[in-house]
Structure 1
């Protein structure tokens, strides 16, 4: 997503955008996988740390903060526990990245043809980002659900392999089992990606003047960090609801947090969380989510810009 205005609309062929988006997703996922697992564990933890009575008799670990949670996972499940769900997650990020950036590029090009009623650049970025996020989320949602379920497994394995998880969900929960919480995911990603891209495209040209003072000499990463933090905070409750809904079904009591209540629907889940855990209950794991979102977005946008540049240079060289 380099630059703004007309330059953005003409940058990169469809093949280059797909490859660059896929590479960006792959690299980003590998770097932030441990934080993703920690975030999911904290989001699924329902008891109140300030209420000792809620912990009494609880089966399973009690996580308190990002680093203690990471240490607890390593101690109880080994270092590889921090990469649980990494296979479906890698597939998710590669497919998501390719679909997202391709849809974003196509949508921005379509919007640029609305002369003489062209929308403001920030509005174009919001619409393109929201639409791209919604399409990519819906298309890759089963992989997102599998990622969550594997990350939620403790020492007791609910699924022995990726294939067994697909087989069991299809057999016991039906096709709709792969889309538990999808409405919350789309409801979250549309405003998130809209806000993210609108902020990113606004900040990136301004951050370019600070290239000499930024890591790697790139304003792309800094703009990605700021945009991600602002957007993520605004829609975090829906992300938490999505995770709670994703582990519903016949295996609900088998995950590392065995006391996850039965939730039905986005709004009923929000109401139940507010009634039993208060407003803070909707923001469990926000801190690690922001820690994760910032470097993930920075790595994603930096990798995308540079991968796209390399691919374009390779194509130009091959044509000579």
Structure 2
């Protein structure tokens, strides 16, 4: 069944249809989960330990203390208003728009290339999905990383704004940090996305047949695809979450590090591995998973919405082109 699905993806519409459907899926998904994304970033950037009263007893001058998803949501709403939950949404929408299109196009192209390179040996569908997913994730992450960094920095801002606009942020980073400033933490991003996307597509392709016949009240919304997407995303996210935390910490490094809502973000100038070990040494291993709960809660609807929207968008585009062809 997995091999059949790979075969379907290979012939699932034109390149333009795949790009458009992927972009639409990313755009819709991003808008829906934006508040949870802001909460996750705020928790990941919180460097003090909540288990040690002395480490946060006098944090007033260093920024707010967040304790859990609901408390963080309420705190942001109270202190920054409703718009605070959509901080960074402009660059994030641009990122998800481009990311969705690049991801699905690269996945489709990689799948075709793998099958063309191995004409005499048919690889298992799960293996093809893993490799193609990893290639797609790497390409999409690298191409959209500057927007990801801007999303993180805007989401990390409190009422004291570090950047007044998207244009000013780009100008400021280019002037004070140079081109490399837009790619801080890219190593952690690729180190995270390769196994994540590979595992996600592999899990999704494997789980989807098992849920194909699931009947639920919202069966007309593609409940089987949604469940497969949710489970695949949650399993993959848990495995690579520590690298996501490292990436967020590295993205806010530079001359503006002490100006975000958390004023005491440590300085990390030693790369991905040493940053990870430094966090563990100073804050404990549990700090690498700070924000995991909301991350999983975010990943579930995000992946379900993405896969559901993509499959319906591609079918709608195919139907539209078919009607156009008749006229």
Q: TM-score range by the shorter chain?
A: over 0.9
Tell whether the 8 Å contact from 2:174 to 2:181 is kept in structure 1 after alignment. Answer: yes
What per-residue deviation string (whole Å, max 9, x for no partner) do you get for residues 136-167 of structure 1?
00000000000000000000000000000000
Partner of 2:90: 87
- Whether 1:288 and 2:289 are equivalent positions in the alignment is no
What per-residue deviation string (whole Å, max 9, x for no partner) do you get for residues 175-208 of structure 1?
0000000000000000000000001011112211
1:1-320 alignment runs, 5 A limit = 4-58=5-59, 59-113=62-116, 114-212=118-216, 215=219, 216-264=221-269, 265-320=271-326
Q: Which ranges of structure 2 fall in alignment gaps of 5 or more residues?
A: none
The range that moved more, 105-114 or 92-101, is 105-114
What per-residue deviation string (whole Å, max 9, x for no partner) do you get for residues 48-91 of structure 1?
11101001322210000001100100000000000000000000
Q: Which ranges of structure 1 fall in alignment gaps of 5 or more residues?
A: none
With normalisation by structure 2, the TM-score equals 0.96
What per-residue deviation string (whole Å, max 9, x for no partner) do you get for residues 237-260 of structure 1?
000000000000000000000000
How far the C-alpha of 1:271 sits from its partner, in A, is 1.1
Tell whether the 8 Å contact from 2:66 to 2:72 is kept in structure 1 after alignment. Answer: yes
How far, CA to CA, are the matches of 2:56 and 2:3 in structure 1?
A: 49
Root mean square deviation of aligned Cα: 1.4
The range that moved more, 56-65 or 80-89, is 56-65
Segments of 4+ moved more than 6 angstroms? none
With normalisation by structure 1, the TM-score equals 0.98
Tell whether the 8 Å contact from 2:3 to 2:124 is kept in structure 1 after alignment. Answer: no
The range that moved more, 267-276 or 122-131, is 267-276
- Taking a change above 3 Å as real, the CA distance of residues 20 and 44 of structure 1, as seen in their structure-2 partners, is same
* Secondary structure of the structure 2 residue equivalent to 1:112: helix
Question: Number of residues paired by the alignment?
Answer: 320
- Taking a change above 3 Å as real, the CA distance of residues 217 and 177 of structure 1, as seen in their structure-2 partners, is closer
How far, CA to CA, are the matches of 1:2 and 1:309 in structure 2?
A: 20
What per-residue deviation string (whole Å, max 9, x for no partner) do you get for residues 258-317 of structure 1?
000001211111111111111101111000000000100000000000011100000001
Tell whether the 8 Å contact from 2:6 to 2:129 is kept in structure 1 after alignment. Answer: no
- Taking a change above 3 Å as real, the CA distance of residues 7 and 211 of structure 1, as seen in their structure-2 partners, is farther
